[in-house]
Chain A
Protein backbone atom coordinates (compact mmCIF):
# COMPACT_ATOMS: atom_id res chain seq x y z
CA UNK A 1 0.00 0.00 0.00
CA UNK A 2 2.78 2.41 0.89
CA UNK A 3 5.28 0.96 -1.57
CA UNK A 4 7.38 -0.68 1.13
CA UNK A 5 10.33 -2.73 -0.13
CA UNK A 6 9.73 -6.48 0.01
CA UNK A 7 13.44 -7.22 0.01
CA UNK A 8 14.85 -9.70 2.52
CA UNK A 9 16.25 -8.11 5.69
CA UNK A 10 20.02 -8.63 5.40
CA UNK A 11 21.46 -5.63 7.19
CA UNK A 12 22.40 -6.09 10.84
CA UNK A 13 22.98 -3.08 13.08
CA UNK A 14 24.92 -3.70 16.28
CA UNK A 15 24.82 -1.08 18.97
CA UNK A 16 26.83 -1.32 22.17
CA UNK A 17 24.49 0.83 24.16
CA UNK A 18 25.77 3.18 26.84
CA UNK A 19 29.10 1.83 25.62
CA UNK A 20 31.52 3.79 27.78
CA UNK A 21 29.43 3.49 30.93
CA UNK A 22 28.82 -0.24 30.42
CA UNK A 23 32.54 -0.78 29.73
CA UNK A 24 33.41 0.99 32.99
CA UNK A 25 30.88 -1.17 34.82
CA UNK A 26 32.51 -4.21 33.27
CA UNK A 27 35.90 -3.05 34.53
CA UNK A 28 34.59 -1.96 37.95
CA UNK A 29 32.39 -4.73 39.35
CA UNK A 30 31.29 -2.62 42.30
CA UNK A 31 29.73 -0.05 39.93
CA UNK A 32 27.50 -2.63 38.26
CA UNK A 33 23.83 -1.94 38.78
CA UNK A 34 24.56 1.57 40.03
CA UNK A 35 23.88 4.99 38.52
CA UNK A 36 27.20 6.09 37.07
CA UNK A 37 28.55 7.96 34.09
CA UNK A 38 31.64 9.02 32.22
CA UNK A 39 33.04 12.46 31.43
CA UNK A 40 36.10 13.67 29.58
CA UNK A 41 37.60 15.60 32.46
CA UNK A 42 36.04 15.94 35.86
CA UNK A 43 35.43 19.57 36.68
CA UNK A 44 32.70 21.56 38.38
CA UNK A 45 30.68 22.08 35.21
CA UNK A 46 31.65 18.98 33.23
CA UNK A 47 29.03 17.08 31.23
CA UNK A 48 27.97 13.48 31.37
CA UNK A 49 29.02 12.00 28.01
CA UNK A 50 27.73 8.49 28.77
CA UNK A 51 25.34 7.34 31.47
CA UNK A 52 24.64 3.82 32.69
CA UNK A 53 21.18 2.31 32.24
CA UNK A 54 20.60 2.74 35.96
CA UNK A 55 21.41 6.46 35.71
CA UNK A 56 19.19 6.86 32.65
CA UNK A 57 16.33 5.22 34.51
CA UNK A 58 16.60 8.00 37.12
CA UNK A 59 16.41 10.67 34.43
CA UNK A 60 20.13 11.42 34.08
CA UNK A 61 20.78 12.15 30.43
CA UNK A 62 23.82 12.44 28.21
CA UNK A 63 24.86 16.09 27.99
CA UNK A 64 23.58 16.88 31.47
CA UNK A 65 25.93 18.83 33.72
CA UNK A 66 27.51 17.12 36.69
CA UNK A 67 25.67 19.39 39.12
CA UNK A 68 22.30 18.53 37.53
CA UNK A 69 23.05 14.81 37.68
CA UNK A 70 24.12 15.07 41.32
CA UNK A 71 20.90 16.92 42.13
CA UNK A 72 18.92 13.98 40.75
CA UNK A 73 21.06 11.35 42.42
CA UNK A 74 23.65 12.35 45.05
CA UNK A 75 25.23 8.86 44.82
CA UNK A 76 25.88 9.28 41.08
CA UNK A 77 29.47 8.24 40.32
CA UNK A 78 31.34 9.97 37.51
CA UNK A 79 34.58 8.56 36.08
CA UNK A 80 37.00 10.07 33.58
CA UNK A 81 37.17 8.48 30.14
CA UNK A 82 39.76 5.79 29.45
CA UNK A 83 40.15 5.60 25.62
CA UNK A 84 42.44 2.51 25.50
CA UNK A 85 39.79 0.57 27.41
CA UNK A 86 37.07 1.55 24.93
CA UNK A 87 39.38 0.79 22.03
CA UNK A 88 39.94 -2.73 23.36
CA UNK A 89 36.16 -3.25 23.37
CA UNK A 90 35.85 -1.65 19.93
CA UNK A 91 38.58 -3.89 18.46
CA UNK A 92 37.03 -7.03 19.92
CA UNK A 93 33.60 -6.04 18.59
CA UNK A 94 35.08 -5.51 15.11
CA UNK A 95 36.78 -8.91 15.33
CA UNK A 96 33.50 -10.61 16.20
CA UNK A 97 31.64 -8.80 13.41
CA UNK A 98 34.32 -9.57 10.84
CA UNK A 99 34.02 -13.28 11.57
CA UNK A 100 30.56 -13.16 9.92
CA UNK A 101 31.17 -10.90 6.92
CA UNK A 102 33.94 -8.86 5.37
CA UNK A 103 31.38 -6.20 4.57
CA UNK A 104 31.23 -4.40 7.89
CA UNK A 105 31.19 -0.68 8.54
CA UNK A 106 31.70 0.92 11.93
CA UNK A 107 29.47 3.97 12.25
CA UNK A 108 31.11 5.11 15.46
CA UNK A 109 33.08 3.53 18.26
CA UNK A 110 30.00 1.83 19.67
CA UNK A 111 27.94 0.88 16.65
CA UNK A 112 28.44 -0.84 13.37
CA UNK A 113 26.76 -2.55 10.44
CA UNK A 114 27.17 -6.05 9.04
CA UNK A 115 25.92 -6.34 5.48
CA UNK A 116 24.93 -9.95 4.72
CA UNK A 117 24.11 -9.38 1.04
CA UNK A 118 25.83 -12.11 -0.93
CA UNK A 119 26.79 -13.92 2.27
CA UNK A 120 23.72 -16.19 2.52
CA UNK A 121 25.78 -19.30 1.72
CA UNK A 122 27.96 -18.69 4.78
CA UNK A 123 24.92 -18.62 7.07
CA UNK A 124 24.32 -22.35 6.45
CA UNK A 125 20.58 -21.93 6.63
CA UNK A 126 20.71 -20.03 9.92
CA UNK A 127 18.51 -16.96 10.28
CA UNK A 128 19.97 -13.54 11.10
CA UNK A 129 18.12 -13.73 14.43
CA UNK A 130 20.19 -16.82 15.32
CA UNK A 131 23.36 -15.03 14.26
CA UNK A 132 22.29 -12.01 16.32
CA UNK A 133 21.83 -14.09 19.50
CA UNK A 134 25.16 -15.78 18.85
CA UNK A 135 26.89 -12.39 18.57
CA UNK A 136 25.28 -11.29 21.83
CA UNK A 137 26.68 -14.37 23.58
CA UNK A 138 30.10 -13.92 22.00
CA UNK A 139 30.23 -10.32 23.21
CA UNK A 140 29.63 -11.60 26.76
CA UNK A 141 32.19 -14.41 26.40
CA UNK A 142 34.90 -12.49 24.58
CA UNK A 143 34.54 -8.98 26.00
CA UNK A 144 32.82 -9.33 29.35
CA UNK A 145 29.72 -10.74 31.00
CA UNK A 146 28.31 -7.27 31.80
CA UNK A 147 28.40 -6.11 28.18
CA UNK A 148 25.07 -5.80 26.42
CA UNK A 149 24.34 -5.09 22.79
CA UNK A 150 21.25 -4.26 20.82
CA UNK A 151 20.88 -6.00 17.51
CA UNK A 152 18.64 -4.72 14.74
CA UNK A 153 17.95 -6.49 11.47
CA UNK A 154 16.46 -4.49 8.62
CA UNK A 155 16.05 -4.16 4.90
CA UNK A 156 18.18 -1.03 4.84
CA UNK A 157 20.62 0.68 7.19
CA UNK A 158 18.02 3.08 8.54
CA UNK A 159 15.56 0.33 9.48
CA UNK A 160 18.31 -1.87 10.94
CA UNK A 161 19.27 1.02 13.26
CA UNK A 162 15.62 1.59 14.13
CA UNK A 163 15.22 -2.10 14.94
CA UNK A 164 18.31 -1.99 17.18
CA UNK A 165 16.73 0.79 19.20
CA UNK A 166 13.27 -0.78 19.46
CA UNK A 167 13.72 -2.68 22.73
CA UNK A 168 16.65 -1.33 24.69
CA UNK A 169 18.71 -2.62 26.41
CA UNK A 170 19.79 -6.01 25.13
CA UNK A 171 17.11 -6.17 22.43
CA UNK A 172 17.01 -8.02 19.14
CA UNK A 173 14.42 -7.08 16.52
CA UNK A 174 13.76 -7.34 12.82
CA UNK A 175 12.06 -4.69 10.70
CA UNK A 176 10.76 -5.54 7.25
CA UNK A 177 7.59 -5.21 5.22
CA UNK A 178 5.72 -7.57 7.58
CA UNK A 179 5.91 -5.33 10.66
CA UNK A 180 7.03 -1.89 9.48
CA UNK A 181 3.57 -0.29 9.60
CA UNK A 182 3.02 -1.60 13.15
CA UNK A 183 6.40 -0.16 14.13
CA UNK A 184 5.68 3.29 12.69
CA UNK A 185 2.30 3.36 14.44
CA UNK A 186 4.09 2.97 17.80
CA UNK A 187 6.66 5.68 17.18
CA UNK A 188 6.67 9.41 17.65
CA UNK A 189 8.19 11.46 14.86
CA UNK A 190 11.27 12.41 16.88
CA UNK A 191 11.81 8.77 17.88
CA UNK A 192 13.07 8.17 14.36
CA UNK A 193 16.82 8.22 13.93
CA UNK A 194 17.85 11.43 12.15
CA UNK A 195 14.70 13.36 13.10
CA UNK A 196 15.54 15.59 16.03
CA UNK A 197 13.64 18.64 17.27
CA UNK A 198 14.53 20.91 14.35
CA UNK A 199 13.47 18.49 11.62
CA UNK A 200 10.50 17.52 13.78
CA UNK A 201 9.33 21.13 13.92
CA UNK A 202 9.77 21.51 10.18
CA UNK A 203 7.69 18.38 9.53
CA UNK A 204 5.06 19.53 12.05
CA UNK A 205 4.71 22.78 10.15
CA UNK A 206 3.45 20.75 7.18
CA UNK A 207 1.01 18.73 9.26
CA UNK A 208 3.30 15.73 9.68
CA UNK A 209 2.89 14.96 13.36
CA UNK A 210 3.61 11.22 13.65
CA UNK A 211 5.86 8.62 12.08
CA UNK A 212 2.83 7.31 10.18
CA UNK A 213 2.09 10.80 8.81
CA UNK A 214 5.70 10.91 7.66
CA UNK A 215 5.29 7.60 5.84
CA UNK A 216 2.06 8.78 4.22
CA UNK A 217 3.53 12.11 3.05
CA UNK A 218 3.91 12.28 -0.75
CA UNK A 219 7.43 12.37 -2.16
CA UNK A 220 6.74 15.60 -4.03
CA UNK A 221 5.73 17.36 -0.83
CA UNK A 222 8.79 16.14 1.10
CA UNK A 223 11.15 17.16 -1.68
CA UNK A 224 9.66 20.45 -2.79
CA UNK A 225 8.10 21.79 0.39
CA UNK A 226 9.38 20.20 3.59
CA UNK A 227 13.08 19.58 2.90
CA UNK A 228 13.30 21.71 -0.25
CA UNK A 229 16.03 19.40 -1.53
CA UNK A 230 16.77 15.88 -2.68
CA UNK A 231 16.78 14.96 1.03
CA UNK A 232 12.99 14.78 0.79
CA UNK A 233 13.25 11.98 -1.78
CA UNK A 234 15.89 10.27 0.29
CA UNK A 235 13.59 10.26 3.34
CA UNK A 236 10.66 9.02 1.25
CA UNK A 237 12.73 6.06 0.06
CA UNK A 238 14.51 5.44 3.36
CA UNK A 239 11.24 5.12 5.30
CA UNK A 240 10.12 2.42 2.84
CA UNK A 241 13.24 0.33 3.27
CA UNK A 242 15.20 1.39 0.19
CA UNK A 243 18.92 1.88 0.79
CA UNK A 244 19.92 5.54 0.83
CA UNK A 245 22.85 5.47 3.23
CA UNK A 246 25.36 3.09 1.70
CA UNK A 247 27.89 5.66 0.63
CA UNK A 248 31.18 7.10 1.81
CA UNK A 249 31.25 10.75 2.76
CA UNK A 250 34.22 12.70 1.51
CA UNK A 251 36.53 14.47 3.92
CA UNK A 252 35.55 18.16 3.94
CA UNK A 253 37.40 19.64 6.87
CA UNK A 254 39.82 18.73 9.61
CA UNK A 255 40.10 20.64 12.86
CA UNK A 256 39.73 20.74 16.58
CA UNK A 257 37.60 22.70 19.01
CA UNK A 258 37.86 23.23 22.74
CA UNK A 259 35.65 24.42 25.56
CA UNK A 260 37.96 26.87 27.35
CA UNK A 261 38.69 25.45 30.78
CA UNK A 262 38.71 28.85 32.50
CA UNK A 263 36.99 31.36 30.16
CA UNK A 264 39.43 34.19 29.55
CA UNK A 265 40.27 37.15 27.30
CA UNK A 266 44.03 36.96 27.88
CA UNK A 267 46.32 36.11 24.98
CA UNK A 268 48.85 34.64 27.41
CA UNK A 269 46.28 31.96 28.25
CA UNK A 270 44.54 31.52 24.88
CA UNK A 271 47.47 31.52 22.42
CA UNK A 272 49.27 28.43 23.81
CA UNK A 273 45.91 26.68 23.63
CA UNK A 274 45.38 27.80 20.04
CA UNK A 275 48.88 26.53 19.23
CA UNK A 276 48.03 23.16 20.79
CA UNK A 277 44.78 22.94 18.78
CA UNK A 278 46.83 23.65 15.64
CA UNK A 279 49.27 20.87 16.57
CA UNK A 280 46.48 18.31 16.84
CA UNK A 281 44.93 19.62 13.61
CA UNK A 282 48.30 19.19 11.84
CA UNK A 283 48.60 15.66 13.22
CA UNK A 284 45.13 14.81 11.92
CA UNK A 285 45.89 16.26 8.47
CA UNK A 286 49.03 14.19 8.11
CA UNK A 287 47.28 11.12 9.54
CA UNK A 288 44.63 11.45 6.81
CA UNK A 289 47.40 12.15 4.26
CA UNK A 290 45.89 15.41 3.08
CA UNK A 291 46.95 19.04 2.80
CA UNK A 292 44.73 22.08 3.23
CA UNK A 293 44.37 25.40 1.45
CA UNK A 294 41.93 27.08 3.77
CA UNK A 295 42.01 27.78 7.47
CA UNK A 296 39.24 29.08 9.72
CA UNK A 297 39.12 30.13 13.34
CA UNK A 298 35.99 30.64 15.43
CA UNK A 299 35.23 31.79 18.91
CA UNK A 300 32.15 31.97 21.13
CA UNK A 301 32.13 34.50 23.92
CA UNK A 302 30.87 34.43 27.46
CA UNK A 303 28.09 36.86 26.47
CA UNK A 304 26.81 34.42 23.83
CA UNK A 305 28.25 36.20 20.79
CA UNK A 306 29.96 34.30 18.01
CA UNK A 307 32.89 35.32 15.81
CA UNK A 308 34.26 33.49 12.82
CA UNK A 309 37.00 34.25 10.28
CA UNK A 310 38.32 32.16 7.41
CA UNK A 311 40.92 32.58 4.69
CA UNK A 312 41.88 30.68 1.58
CA UNK A 313 45.55 30.51 0.58
CA UNK A 314 47.16 29.99 -2.81
CA UNK A 315 49.34 27.09 -1.73
CA UNK A 316 48.58 24.06 0.41
CA UNK A 317 49.97 23.54 3.91
CA UNK A 318 50.16 20.68 6.41
CA UNK A 319 52.77 21.42 9.08
CA UNK A 320 51.80 22.46 12.60
CA UNK A 321 53.79 25.69 12.30
CA UNK A 322 52.11 26.72 9.04
CA UNK A 323 48.67 26.04 10.45
CA UNK A 324 49.44 28.00 13.62
CA UNK A 325 50.90 30.97 11.73
CA UNK A 326 47.83 31.22 9.50
CA UNK A 327 45.39 30.65 12.35
CA UNK A 328 47.13 33.21 14.52
CA UNK A 329 46.71 35.92 11.87
CA UNK A 330 42.97 35.32 12.00
CA UNK A 331 42.73 34.83 15.76
CA UNK A 332 44.41 38.19 16.41
CA UNK A 333 41.56 39.91 14.54
CA UNK A 334 38.91 38.67 16.97
CA UNK A 335 36.86 41.21 18.89
CA UNK A 336 37.79 41.65 22.54
CA UNK A 337 35.85 39.52 24.99
CA UNK A 338 35.96 36.55 27.34
CA UNK A 339 36.31 33.42 25.22
CA UNK A 340 34.17 30.43 26.20
CA UNK A 341 34.85 28.05 23.29
CA UNK A 342 37.29 28.24 20.42
CA UNK A 343 38.06 26.14 17.41
CA UNK A 344 40.11 25.88 14.28
CA UNK A 345 39.48 23.93 11.12
CA UNK A 346 41.22 23.52 7.80
CA UNK A 347 39.33 23.01 4.56
CA UNK A 348 39.79 22.63 0.77
CA UNK A 349 41.66 19.42 1.37
CA UNK A 350 43.73 17.74 -1.32
CA UNK A 351 45.77 14.53 -1.26
CA UNK A 352 49.18 14.98 0.30
CA UNK A 353 52.08 15.79 -2.03
CA UNK A 354 54.73 15.14 0.58
CA UNK A 355 56.15 12.20 -1.34
CA UNK A 356 56.85 14.38 -4.39
CA UNK A 357 60.31 15.81 -4.75
CA UNK A 358 60.59 19.56 -4.37
CA UNK A 359 62.86 21.90 -6.32
CA UNK A 360 63.34 24.10 -3.28
CA UNK A 361 65.65 23.30 -0.38
CA UNK A 362 63.63 25.10 2.28
CA UNK A 363 60.48 23.14 1.42
CA UNK A 364 62.43 19.88 1.59
CA UNK A 365 63.86 20.92 4.95
CA UNK A 366 60.39 21.61 6.41
CA UNK A 367 59.15 18.25 5.12
CA UNK A 368 62.09 16.42 6.63
CA UNK A 369 61.75 18.09 10.02
CA UNK A 370 58.01 17.40 10.13
CA UNK A 371 58.59 13.78 9.14
CA UNK A 372 61.33 13.35 11.74
CA UNK A 373 59.18 14.83 14.53
CA UNK A 374 56.23 12.63 13.50
CA UNK A 375 58.47 9.57 13.57
CA UNK A 376 59.82 10.42 17.03
CA UNK A 377 56.29 10.97 18.32
CA UNK A 378 55.09 7.78 16.69
CA UNK A 379 57.82 5.78 18.42
CA UNK A 380 57.89 7.37 21.87
CA UNK A 381 54.27 8.55 22.12
CA UNK A 382 52.55 11.62 20.75
CA UNK A 383 53.69 14.99 22.10
CA UNK A 384 57.14 13.71 22.99
CA UNK A 385 58.35 16.56 20.74
CA UNK A 386 56.11 19.56 20.16
CA UNK A 387 56.26 23.29 19.65
CA UNK A 388 57.33 25.53 22.51
CA UNK A 389 54.30 27.72 21.80
CA UNK A 390 52.06 24.78 22.81
CA UNK A 391 53.84 24.09 26.08
CA UNK A 392 51.22 25.66 28.35
CA UNK A 393 48.35 24.62 26.09
CA UNK A 394 49.23 20.96 26.38
CA UNK A 395 49.02 21.20 30.18
CA UNK A 396 45.53 22.68 29.97
CA UNK A 397 43.80 20.84 27.11
CA UNK A 398 42.93 17.22 27.65
CA UNK A 399 42.59 14.87 24.73
CA UNK A 400 38.99 13.89 24.29
CA UNK A 401 37.44 10.71 23.00
CA UNK A 402 35.86 10.98 19.60
CA UNK A 403 32.16 10.69 19.02
CA UNK A 404 30.71 9.94 15.63
CA UNK A 405 33.53 8.89 13.35
CA UNK A 406 36.29 6.51 14.28
CA UNK A 407 38.81 7.97 11.84
CA UNK A 408 41.15 9.31 14.50
CA UNK A 409 40.86 6.58 17.10
CA UNK A 410 44.26 5.06 16.33
CA UNK A 411 45.80 8.52 16.42
CA UNK A 412 44.11 9.30 19.72
CA UNK A 413 45.41 6.12 21.32
CA UNK A 414 48.98 7.19 20.72
CA UNK A 415 48.30 10.23 22.89
CA UNK A 416 46.27 8.44 25.57
Chain B
Protein backbone atom coordinates (compact mmCIF):
# COMPACT_ATOMS: atom_id res chain seq x y z
CA UNK B 1 0.00 0.00 0.00
CA UNK B 2 2.11 2.93 1.22
CA UNK B 3 5.61 1.88 0.11
CA UNK B 4 7.40 4.48 2.27
CA UNK B 5 10.10 3.14 4.61
CA UNK B 6 10.75 5.47 7.56
CA UNK B 7 14.46 5.92 8.36
CA UNK B 8 15.08 9.22 10.23
CA UNK B 9 18.88 8.96 10.41
CA UNK B 10 21.51 11.66 10.12
CA UNK B 11 23.63 10.92 7.06
CA UNK B 12 26.95 12.20 5.64
CA UNK B 13 26.03 14.33 2.63
CA UNK B 14 27.73 16.11 -0.26
CA UNK B 15 25.52 18.96 -1.47
CA UNK B 16 26.08 20.95 -4.64
CA UNK B 17 25.62 24.67 -5.28
CA UNK B 18 25.39 26.14 -8.79
CA UNK B 19 25.25 29.94 -8.64
CA UNK B 20 24.09 30.28 -12.24
CA UNK B 21 21.39 27.59 -12.21
CA UNK B 22 17.65 28.27 -12.03
CA UNK B 23 16.19 28.60 -8.54
CA UNK B 24 14.95 25.04 -8.26
CA UNK B 25 18.31 23.54 -9.26
CA UNK B 26 20.60 25.99 -7.50
CA UNK B 27 21.38 23.89 -4.46
CA UNK B 28 20.60 20.23 -3.82
CA UNK B 29 22.10 17.06 -2.34
CA UNK B 30 24.57 15.41 -4.72
CA UNK B 31 25.45 12.20 -2.91
CA UNK B 32 25.22 10.62 0.54
CA UNK B 33 26.57 7.68 2.45
CA UNK B 34 23.99 5.36 3.94
CA UNK B 35 24.76 1.98 5.50
CA UNK B 36 28.26 1.99 4.03
CA UNK B 37 26.98 2.61 0.54
CA UNK B 38 27.58 5.73 -1.46
CA UNK B 39 24.36 6.82 -3.13
CA UNK B 40 24.53 9.36 -5.93
CA UNK B 41 21.37 11.23 -6.82
CA UNK B 42 20.61 11.35 -10.51
CA UNK B 43 17.05 12.68 -10.55
CA UNK B 44 15.85 15.79 -8.78
CA UNK B 45 12.23 15.37 -7.67
CA UNK B 46 11.45 18.59 -5.90
CA UNK B 47 12.43 20.84 -3.03
CA UNK B 48 10.09 22.56 -0.68
CA UNK B 49 10.63 24.58 2.45
CA UNK B 50 8.76 23.83 5.64
CA UNK B 51 9.06 24.90 9.25
CA UNK B 52 9.38 23.17 12.57
CA UNK B 53 8.35 25.98 14.90
CA UNK B 54 10.51 28.82 13.64
CA UNK B 55 13.23 26.52 12.27
CA UNK B 56 13.52 26.47 8.50
CA UNK B 57 13.74 23.00 7.01
CA UNK B 58 14.41 22.32 3.32
CA UNK B 59 12.91 19.05 2.16
CA UNK B 60 14.47 17.44 -0.91
CA UNK B 61 12.87 14.58 -2.78
CA UNK B 62 15.68 12.91 -4.70
CA UNK B 63 16.14 9.68 -6.62
CA UNK B 64 19.16 7.60 -7.56
CA UNK B 65 17.22 6.27 -10.52
CA UNK B 66 15.92 3.30 -8.55
CA UNK B 67 14.81 4.42 -5.10
CA UNK B 68 13.27 7.73 -4.02
CA UNK B 69 14.69 9.45 -0.95
CA UNK B 70 13.24 12.17 1.26
CA UNK B 71 16.06 14.23 2.73
CA UNK B 72 15.70 17.13 5.15
CA UNK B 73 18.23 19.89 5.70
CA UNK B 74 17.84 21.75 8.98
CA UNK B 75 19.08 25.22 8.04
CA UNK B 76 19.50 26.28 11.66
CA UNK B 77 21.36 23.29 13.06
CA UNK B 78 23.01 22.34 9.72
CA UNK B 79 21.86 18.74 9.83
CA UNK B 80 21.12 16.40 6.94
CA UNK B 81 18.57 13.73 7.74
CA UNK B 82 17.48 10.84 5.54
CA UNK B 83 13.84 10.80 6.56
CA UNK B 84 12.43 8.01 4.40
CA UNK B 85 12.83 6.11 1.18
CA UNK B 86 10.59 4.39 -1.31
CA UNK B 87 11.99 1.35 -3.06
CA UNK B 88 11.32 1.45 -6.76
CA UNK B 89 12.48 0.26 -10.11
CA UNK B 90 14.91 1.76 -12.60
CA UNK B 91 13.36 4.92 -14.05
CA UNK B 92 16.41 6.28 -15.86
CA UNK B 93 15.31 5.13 -19.31
Q: Measuring CB to CB, which residues of chain A are less than 8 angstroms from any residue of chain B?
A: 23, 26-32, 42, 66, 70, 77-80, 84-85, 87-89, 141-144, 379-381, 384, 413-414, 416
Which residues of A are found within 8 Å of B4, using beta-carbon distances?
79
Contact check, B59 vs A142: say whether CB atoms are below 8 A apart.
no
Q: Cβ of B88: which chain A residues have Cβ within 8 Å of it?
A: 28-31
A141 touches which of B22, B59, B89 (Cβ 8 Å): B22
Q: Which residue of A lies closest to B70 (CB)?
A: A27
Whether the pair A144, B46 counts as a contact (CB closer than 8 A) is: yes
- Other-chain contact of A413, B2, B22, B51 (Cβ < 8 Å): B51
Name the residue on B nearest A30 (C-beta).
Answer: B88
| Binary contact track B26-59/A, C-beta < 8 Å → 1, others 0 | 0000000000000000010111111111100001
8 contacts between A and B (CB under 8 A): A23-B46, A27-B61, A29-B43, A31-B88, A79-B2, A141-B24, A144-B46, A379-B54
**A314 vs B50: C-alpha distance in the bound complex, in angstroms?**
42
What separation, in Å, do the CA atoms of A66 and B2 have in the docked complex?
Answer: 11
With A30-B88, A30-B89, A77-B3 in contact, do A88 and B53 touch (Cβ < 8 Å)?
no
Q: What is the minimal beta-carbon distance from A190 to any residue of chain B, in angstroms?
A: 33
Give the CA-CA distance A414 to B61 in the complex, in Å: 21
Q: How many A-B residue pairs have CB under 8 A?
A: 80
Whether A384 pairs with B50 at a CB distance below 8 angstroms is no
Whether B46 pairs with A30 at a CB distance below 8 angstroms is no
Expressed in whole angstroms, the Cα–Cα distance for A78 and B2 within the complex equals 5
What residues of chain B lie closer than 8 Å to A27, measured between beta carbons? 45-46, 61, 68
> In the bound complex, do residue A381 and residue B48 qualify as a contact, i.e. CB atoms below 8 Å apart?
no
Min CB–CB distance A358 → chain B (angstroms): 31
User: B78 contacts the other chain (Cβ, under 8 Å)?
Assistant: no
Q: Do A380 and B2 form a contact, CB below 8 Å, given A27-B46, A84-B48, A142-B24?
A: no
B59 smallest CB distance to A (angstroms): 7
Cβ–Cβ contact A416 & B46, under 8 A: no
Q: Which of B23, B51, B61, B68 contacts A142 (CB 8 A)?
A: B23
A240–chain B nearest beta-carbon distance, Å: 42
Given A141-B22, A142-B22, A142-B24, the answer on whether A26 and B45 have CB atoms closer than 8 Å is yes
Binding site for A on B (CB under 8 A): 1-4, 22-24, 43, 45-54, 59, 61, 63, 66-68, 86, 88-89, 91
Give every chain B residue within 8 A of A379 (Cβ-Cβ): 53-54
Contact B68 A28 (CB under 8 A): yes
Q: How far is the CA of A154 from the CA of B46 in the complex (A)?
A: 32
Q: What separation, in Å, do the CA atoms of A381 and B52 have in the docked complex?
A: 6
A26-B2 contact in complex given A32-B91, A142-B24, A380-B54, C-beta closer than 8 Å = no
Supposing A42-B1, A66-B1, A379-B54 touch, asked if A29 and B45 sit within 8 A by C-beta, the answer is: yes
User: With A27-B45, A28-B61, A80-B2 in contact, do A384 and B53 touch (Cβ < 8 Å)?
Assistant: yes
Contacts of B50 in A (CB 8 A): 84, 413, 416
Q: Which 6 pairs show the lowest CB-CB distances between chains A and B? A: A30-B88, A88-B48, A27-B61, A84-B50, A380-B53, A381-B53
Contact A29 B63 (CB under 8 A): yes
State in angstroms the CA–CA spacing of A141 and B25 once bound together: 10
Question: Which residues of A sit under 8 angstroms from B54, Cβ to Cβ?
Answer: 379-380
**Chain A residues, Cβ within 8 Å of B23:** 142
Q: Write the nearest CB–CB distance from A415 to chain B, whole angstroms.
A: 11
* B55: min CB distance to chain A, Å: 9
CA distance A191 to B63 in the complex (A): 39
Are the CB atoms of B45 and A28 closer together than 8 Å?
yes
Q: How far is the CB of B39 from chain A (nearest CB, A)?
A: 14
Tell me whether A30 and B86 are in contact in the complex, defined as CB-CB below 8 angstroms, given that A79-B4, A379-B54, A413-B51 are known contacts.
Answer: yes
Q: How far is the CB of A405 from chain B (nearest CB, A)?
A: 21
| B49 adjacent to A84 (CB under 8 Å) | yes
Contact, CB under 8 Å: B68 / A29: yes
B59 and A77 contacting across the interface, CB-CB below 8 Å: no
Bound CA span A27–B50, Å = 15
